[in-house]
């Protein structure tokens, strides 16, 4: 296998670069490529990290995972790109030069191409580069993990995407294939072993271009199991979370038939199962400008009506009843940062009960 200048060699770890884009100053922005290949044939797992420049846990997890000891036991190939946004990592910015849009909203969405509008800017050089890279991923990947970091002190968790299917052909077959893919993704998430939650509802997700995130693009278009994992704190990575992520990734490799042996325990972090499906929700929100004292920690169970924060004015006097209560059952994924809030700000990212099906049709106008 060759990705950029990196060429696989059985039983070794090989390194190279993939040219992404040229800057007007004349130098080329490249992405680092690592290919670890066992001596025995097997599946291909892609690992990516560092697409958001303020999320540094993922690259460290990739580096800790890819050792010669792993390769000596490996069947198949691991392709890793630990720095998908070099400019962002250099500056610590989520959306770096030469773009202002979130780089994890620039991956293909499967819509038919349209003629360029001379009054609108064409796809950026970053988006064009990601489209080329996606094509190499889709041609080779049997499974896929994209590493991110969430918030200071949050749980380490992974997202379960709702799988969409098309209705403009054999709808029954498309739905069955989507269900099979959702089942495979569910198995992969269980193997990874961290807290699992769905993302925002699909209509909100499409509005916010979450379907154009990297792992979702691979899941929807390449139709291979793909997940986004969130490793808690971004700019000061938690070594316990990184160790648990490395163990979870090796478990995914066992699930995929790339490693032998029993599943490793996920130690050193909280893993929460509410006993029912949950999704991410930015809730509860304050109704007035206030100073907040959080009353729950990441991973704590929450029931509707439970106080989760104290709310005061700037003199320290209680506002209203002095507390903000949860509207839902579930658990805290992480606190919102800081103590000073404007009206409508959320104080927690919560995992709340979700009843949406695991597969659903694309909206009728999506491909129009």
DSSP string, 73-127: T-EEEEEEES-S-HHHHHHT-SS-TT--S-GGG-S---PPP-PPPTTSPPPPHHH
One domain for residues 313 and 328: yes
Positive or negative: CA dihedral 221, 223, 226, 228? positive
pTM of the model: 0.96
One domain for residues 47 and 78: yes
For residue 9, say if its preceding peptide bond is cis, omega within 30 degrees of 0. Answer: no
One domain for residues 262 and 336: no
Q: Is residue 367 part of a domain?
A: no
Q: Is residue 295 part of a domain?
A: yes
Q: 79 has which bridge partners?
A: 35, 46
H/E stretch holding 8 reads none
Q: Is residue 305 part of a domain?
A: yes
CATH at residue 147: 3.40.630.10
Q: Range of 349's domain?
A: 278-353
Q: What's the distance, Cα to Cα, between the start and end of the chain in Å?
A: 37
At CA 79, angle to CA 137 and CA 240, rounded to 5? 120
* One pLDDT digit (tens) per residue for the chain, 368 residues: 999 999 999 999 999 999 999 999 999 999 999 999 999 999 999 999 999 999 999 999 999 999 999 999 999 999 999 999 999 999 999 988 888 899 999 999 999 888 889 998 899 999 999 999 999 999 999 999 999 999 999 999 999 999 999 999 899 999 999 999 999 999 999 999 999 999 988 888 899 999 999 999 999 999 999 999 999 998 999 999 999 999 999 999 999 999 999 999 999 999 999 999 999 999 999 999 999 999 999 999 999 999 999 999 999 999 999 999 999 999 999 999 999 999 999 999 999 999 999 999 999 889 98
DSSP string, 172-191: HHHHHHHHHHHHHHHHHHHH
Q: Is residue 104 part of a domain?
A: yes
One domain for residues 91 and 133: yes
List C-alpha distances in Å: 98 to 7, 85, 119, 151, 206.
Answer: 29, 11, 20, 25, 24
Asked which of 228, 243, 271 is the last residue of a domain, the reply is 271
pLDDT for the residue 266: 98
Q: Is residue 362 part of a domain?
A: no
Count how many domains the chain has. 2
Q: Which long-range contacts (CB under 8 A, 24 or more apart) does 264-267 make?
A: 266/193, 266/194, 267/243
Say how far residue 96 (Cα) sits from the centre of its chain.
18
Asked which of 218, 244, 271 is the last residue of a domain, the reply is 271
One domain for residues 264 and 286: no
Q: Is residue 152 part of a domain?
A: yes
Residue bearing tokens 């130690």: 267
One domain for residues 221 and 248: yes
One domain for residues 148 and 261: yes
pLDDT for the residue 195: 98
One domain for residues 345 and 219: no
Q: Is residue 339 part of a domain?
A: yes
Residue bearing tokens 């029912």: 276
Asked which of 255, 271, 287 is the last residue of a domain, the reply is 271
Integer Cα distance of 209 and 107 in angstroms: 9
CATH at residue 322: 2.40.50.100
One domain for residues 211 and 286: no
One domain for residues 282 and 188: no
User: Both tokens of residue 261?
Assistant: 């042996």
Residue bearing tokens 């809030």: 341
One domain for residues 296 and 248: no
Integer Cα distance of 230 and 148 in angstroms: 5
Q: Is residue 139 part of a domain?
A: yes
User: Both tokens of residue 39?
Assistant: 């001596």
One domain for residues 160 and 209: yes
List C-alpha distances in Å: 331 to 151, 195, 248, 354.
Answer: 16, 11, 22, 13
Measured from the Cβ of residue 241, the count of other Cβ atoms closer than 10 Å reads 24
């Amino acid at each position: 296998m060759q990705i950029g200048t990196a060429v696989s060699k059985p039983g070794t770890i090989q390194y190279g670069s993939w040219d992404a884009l040229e800057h007007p100053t004349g130098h080329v922005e490249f992405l680092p490529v690592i290919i670890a290949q066992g001596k025995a044939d097997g599946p291909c797992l892609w690992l990516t990290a560092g697409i958001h420049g303020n999320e540094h846990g993922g690259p460290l997890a990739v580096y800790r995972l890819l050792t010669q000891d792993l390769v000596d036991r490996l069947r198949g190939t691991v392709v890793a790109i630990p720095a998908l946004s070099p400019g962002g990592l250099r500056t610590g910015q989520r959306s770096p030069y030469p773009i202002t849009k979130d780089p994890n909203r620039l991956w293909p969405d499967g819509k038919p191409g349209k003629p360029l509008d001379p009054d609108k800017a064409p796809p950026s050089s970053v988006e064009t580069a990601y489209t080329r890279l996606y094509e190499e991923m889709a041609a080779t990947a049997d499974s896929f993990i994209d590493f991110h970091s969430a918030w200071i002190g949050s749980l380490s968790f992974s997202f379960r995407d709702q799988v969409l299917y098309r209705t403009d052909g054999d709808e029954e077959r498309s739905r069955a294939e989507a269900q099979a893919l959702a089942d495979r993704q569910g198995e992969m998430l269980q193997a990874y072993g961290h807290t699992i939650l769905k993302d925002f509802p699909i209509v909100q997700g499409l509005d916010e271009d979450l379907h154009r995130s990297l792992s979702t693009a691979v899941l929807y278009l390449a139709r291979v199991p793909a997940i986004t994992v969130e490793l808690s704190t971004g700019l000061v990575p938690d070594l316990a979370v990184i160790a648990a992520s490395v163990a979870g990734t090796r478990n995914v490799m066992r699930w995929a038939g790339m490693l032998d042996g029993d599943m490793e325990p996920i130690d050193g972090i909280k893993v929460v199962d509410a006993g029912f499906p949950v999704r991410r929700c930015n809730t509860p929100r304050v109704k007035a400008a206030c100073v907040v004292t959080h009353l729950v920690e990441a991973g704590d169970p929450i029931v509707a009506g439970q106080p989760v924060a104290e709310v005061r004015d700037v003199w320290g006097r209680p506002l209203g009843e002095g507390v903000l209560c949860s509207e839902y059952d579930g658990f805290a994924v992480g606190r919102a940062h800081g103590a000073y809030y404007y009206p409508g700000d959320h104080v927690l990212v919560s995992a709340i009960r979700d009843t949406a099906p695991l597969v659903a049709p694309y909206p009728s106008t999506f491909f129009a």
